[in-house]
Amino acid sequence: MISRSTIDRVFESARVEEVIGEFVQLKKAGSNFKGLSPFTDEKSPSFMVSPVKQIWKDFSTGKGGNAVSFLMEHEHYSYPEALRWLAKKYNIEIEETEQTTEEKAQMNERESMFLVSSFAKDYFHDVMLNSNKGKAIGLSYFKERGFREETIKKFDLGYCIDEWDNFTKAALAKGYDLKYLAATGLTIVKENKQFDRFKGRVMFPIHSMSGRILGFGGRILTADKKAAKYLNSPESDIYHKSKILYGIYQAKKEIAKQDNCFLVEGYTDVISFHQSGVENVVASSGTALTSDQIRLVNRLTKNITVLFDGDAAGIRASIRGIDLILEQGMNVKVVQFPDGEDPDSFAKAHSDAELKEYLENSAQDFINFKVSLLLKDSNNDPIKKAGVIRDIVTSISKIPDGIQREVYVQECARIMDISERVLFSELAQLLKKGLQEKNKVSKKQNASQQDPNQPPPEYFMAQEQAQMGLVKGGQKASQKVDQLSILEKEIIRILLLYGNEEIEFSEEVINMDEDGKETISNRKYQNTVSSEIYLHLQEDEIEFTNSLFQEIYIEIIHQLNQSEKLDVDSLINHKNSEISSIVTSILMDEEKHQLSNWESKNIEVKSAIEVMPKAVSDVVFNLRRILIDKIVSKFMEKGKEYTNDEKEQIMSYNSLRIKLSEKLKRVV
């Protein structure tokens, strides 16, 4: 169990913008950073990081928190795993206390699978470097491929001894459960027998973006025609082949730095490029490219260069992935190697400088590449040429940006010697058809997901309109909003952001002259925002109806009473994750306006301090108004017969309600 002092050092050292920058491409936005959400597929940035507050918020999903919570959300780490990752990053030595039996039992299955995979990576690597068979077979293979020792270490390459259960016996001897060896696919269990899935293969560990071992790729070294040349870990709770790219962990920093990603096919292509000094490269590991894989790259850069070898058949099979890349709004270039060459062989046959020069000079726009490739098959046949044109326009229709589509249509018209008008007409039809199909799929999904016992979507739409105060047909929507919860949250927001601020307030003072005539004047006075709110709520003996808001309010007031200053960090890192999440969400909502960049649109936004006196009075008066409404409603529930005392109380409350509404400029 990690000690409290280590946890404190981790929180003190970790910089949220540095941690998130490992996974998301961030751009400066005022005092904050913004980027594309790593949790959803989006085209406009809604993800924001605040270095000052050391928190983040994803406005597309509502998720938010600190550096630890980001790792837990994005990498599915447990709390201790996130702390260990940060401790490693910031070179903090972890002090641990002895784990109890109960704490050990709480480790879930995913964590156990990660532990088994990490052990396997270390075991295969050690066997290859330090055992006779490992050095003679596994290490010799990699050396023959030209891989240097530092490269072998960088990618954790290894070897699984060609014996039925060499690895399995070693893992069981170390105390690892056979259940998790089987769950990760490292061991195949049949009846009372178990054997190593990767026996006799050199091993390529597959890392997540954060460096965790998700699975393995193994290459056979014998000429056994019955066995697959490459074998991957089976799909599991931690390994999904279509959602990971080989080399993303080793390449992520360089991809962001170079603002470009090279996409190749195989493990050795990636490793050879790294050894040649080209580190912004990943591989689809021999599978057809998927949207999930593209989104991994999209977090780091908008530019991707697809590398093809000279095999024409392979190119035609792989070129379909370009349309998927275009759909993600990314910029695509293509590099084709000479006949008989692939990225691995070309990198080995040329110097580092020659490789980089070739990649730079040979990169061409996807449309030029696709046209030149497809026209070779048309043989000046008008029908085939028309098919090529439709194929190109189909690719262009995948591009979400309208300006880019138009530029590509113009380029296609020039290359194919055809009228732009014809191409734009074809493009319009494709876009219309695509939109219709998308709507059909959306309707089917909604229908299939709709619970027959639940109201239809229109009902929830009406609820949403009611919450927004919208009207329909001259009548306000009938659904009620939890106004108290909204106001309570607003009070917490004001306290968190401006509780320490001292500003000028004013209040109405009723004066009586000698004739008994009342006059009203305004008295101005200085007070902190927190004291002003506290005095109002104390005066009315108000308690929050939302238990979490009440807990946050009590803690804020306690801090202010103790030190006269609010420590927001203690709430961000609160032991209650629900409180931490609410506080983070409120703090980052304040930064949301930066995503709209109002200044660039010449729209003046008033500072919060300017409107704070009115904001405080409005929220307090509204809270009183609603509480009075509730009291009056309770009287009404009793029936039409009231005592004189009850009638006086109702009249008094109604009179107060009218005064509050006048102050709020509301119609009662």
Paired tokens of 477 = 């929507």
Rounded Cα distance, 381 and 342, in Å: 31
User: Is the pLDDT assigned to residue 446 strictly greater than 60?
Assistant: no
The contacts found for 417-424 with CB under 8 angstroms, 24 or more apart, are: 418/389, 423/389, 423/393
The answer to whether residues 393 and 496 belong to one domain is no
**Mean pLDDT for all residues in the chain:** 82
Residue where a domain terminates, one of 189, 204, 239: 239
The answer to whether residues 100 and 142 belong to one domain is no
User: Is the pLDDT assigned to residue 275 strictly greater than 80?
Assistant: yes
Does the residue 576 lie in any domain?
A: yes
Tell me the pLDDT tens digit for each residue of 289-326: 898 899 889 888 889 999 988 665 667 666 778 889 99
User: Is the pLDDT assigned to residue 597 strictly greater than 80?
Assistant: no
In degrees and rounded to multiples of 5, residue 353 shows phi and psi of -65, -40
The answer to whether residues 555 and 517 belong to one domain is yes
The answer to whether residues 279 and 385 belong to one domain is yes
Rounded Cα distance, 569 and 4, in Å: 16
The answer to whether residues 206 and 290 belong to one domain is no
Does the residue 436 lie in any domain?
A: no
Cα–Cα distance list, 107 to 19, 79, 83, 540, 551 (Å): 25, 11, 15, 48, 30
Residue where a domain terminates, one of 222, 239, 256: 239
Does the residue 461 lie in any domain?
A: no
Name residue, tokens 């799929």: 441
- Over its C-alpha atoms, the chain yields an Rg (Å, rounded) of 32
The answer to whether residues 135 and 197 belong to one domain is yes
The answer to whether residues 272 and 233 belong to one domain is no
Cα–Cα distance list, 177 to 70, 112, 193, 199, 203 (Å): 30, 9, 15, 19, 22
Q: Does residue 598 or residue 260 have the better pLDDT?
A: 260
* 284: amino acid identity, one letter: S
Cα–Cα distance list, 589 to 48, 494, 496, 576, 608 (Å): 10, 12, 12, 20, 13
The contacts found for 553-561 with CB under 8 angstroms, 24 or more apart, are: 553/488, 553/491, 553/492, 553/495, 556/492, 556/495, 556/496, 556/499, 556/530, 557/530, 560/499, 560/530, 560/531, 560/534
Does the residue 526 lie in any domain?
A: yes
| pLDDT level of residue 131 (50, 70, 90 thresholds) | very high
| pLDDT level of residue 421 (50, 70, 90 thresholds) | very high
- DSSP letter for 198, please: T
The answer to whether residues 343 and 256 belong to one domain is yes
Rounded Cα distance, 340 and 533, in Å: 76
The contacts found for 397-406 with CB under 8 angstroms, 24 or more apart, are: 397/427, 397/430, 397/431, 397/434, 398/323, 398/324, 398/326, 398/327, 399/326, 399/327, 399/329, 400/43, 400/327, 400/329, 401/329
Residue where a domain terminates, one of 394, 429, 464: 429
Does the residue 462 lie in any domain?
A: no
The answer to whether residues 644 and 511 belong to one domain is yes
Name residue, tokens 């790593």: 38
The answer to whether residues 521 and 407 belong to one domain is no
User: Is the pLDDT assigned to residue 397 strictly greater than 80?
Assistant: yes
Q: Does residue 367 or residue 220 have the better pLDDT?
A: 220
Does the residue 24 lie in any domain?
A: yes
Does the residue 39 lie in any domain?
A: yes
* 608: amino acid identity, one letter: A
| Residues 6+ positions from 237 with CB-CB distance below 8 Å | 109, 110, 113, 183
Rounded Cα distance, 532 and 502, in Å: 10
Q: How many CB atoms lie within 10 A of CB 65?
A: 24
* Burial of residue 325 (number of CB atoms within 10 Å: 0-12, 13-18, 19+): buried
| Residue 537, SS3 per DSSP | helix
Percentage of the chain exceeding pLDDT 90: 35
Contact at 8 Å (CB) between 588 and 496? no
| Residue 655, SS3 per DSSP | helix
Domain of 139, CATH number, reads 3.90.980.10
The answer to whether residues 144 and 66 belong to one domain is no
> What integer pLDDT is reported at residue 312 of this predicted model?
57
Biggest distance spanned by C-alpha atoms of the chain: 114
Bridge partners of 505? 525
Rounded Cα distance, 519 and 510, in Å: 6
Average pLDDT over residues 117-140: 97
**pTM > 0.75: yes or no:** no
User: Is the pLDDT assigned to residue 646 strictly greater than 90?
Assistant: no
The answer to whether residues 299 and 419 belong to one domain is yes
Contact at 8 Å (CB) between 32 and 56? no
| Helix, strand and coil percent figures for the chain, each rounded to 5 | 55, 15, 30
146: domain range? 109-239
Average pLDDT over residues 408-421: 89
Tally of domains in the chain: 4
The contacts found for 429-433 with CB under 8 angstroms, 24 or more apart, are: 430/393, 430/394, 430/397, 431/397
> What integer pLDDT is reported at residue 594 of this predicted model?
54
Does the residue 478 lie in any domain?
A: no
> What integer pLDDT is reported at residue 542 of this predicted model?
75
| pLDDT level of residue 114 (50, 70, 90 thresholds) | very high
User: Is the pLDDT assigned to residue 505 strictly greater than 50?
Assistant: yes
Contact at 8 Å (CB) between 58 and 64? yes
Q: Does residue 348 or residue 513 have the better pLDDT?
A: 348
Rounded Cα distance, 286 and 263, in Å: 11
* Burial of residue 306 (number of CB atoms within 10 Å: 0-12, 13-18, 19+): buried
Tell me the pLDDT tens digit for each residue of 247-271: 999 998 898 888 899 999 999 999 9
Domain of 84, CATH number, reads 3.90.580.10
> What integer pLDDT is reported at residue 566 of this predicted model?
77
Name residue, tokens 């098919």: 387
